[in-house]
Amino acid sequence: MGFDDSKSREYQLCPSILSADFNRLGEQIQMLERAGVKWLHIDVMDGDFVPSISFGMPVIKSIRKESSMFFDVHLMVTEPGRYIQDFVECGADSITVHTEACEDLERTIQMIRDSGVRVGVSIKPATPVHDISHFLEDVDMVLIMTVNPGFGGQKYMEETTEKIQELRELIEEEELSVDIQVDGGINRETLPTVLRAGANLVVAGSYVFNGDILQNVKEATSTIKRYADSCEI
Which residues make up each annotated binding site for a divalent metal cation? 41, 43, 74, 183
Q: Which of 151, 206, 218, 202 is nearest to 9 (CA)?
A: 202
Q: Is the dihedral of CA 215, 220, 223, 226 positive or negative?
A: negative
Q: Is the dihedral of CA 9, 15, 17, 22 positive or negative?
A: negative
Annotated binding site for substrate: 16, 74, 150-153, 183-185, 205-206
Q: What is d(CA 172, CA 168) in angstroms, rounded to the nearest whole number?
A: 6
Q: Which of 5, 21, 43, 140 is catalytic?
A: 43
Q: Are strands 39-45 and 70-76 parallel, antiparallel or unpaired?
A: parallel
Catalytic (active site) residue 183: yes
Catalytic (active site) residue 86: no
What are the Cα distances from residue 107, in Å, to 79, 89, 204?
11, 20, 30
Q: Which of 5, 93, 183, 229 is catalytic?
A: 183
Residues with a known catalytic role: 43, 183
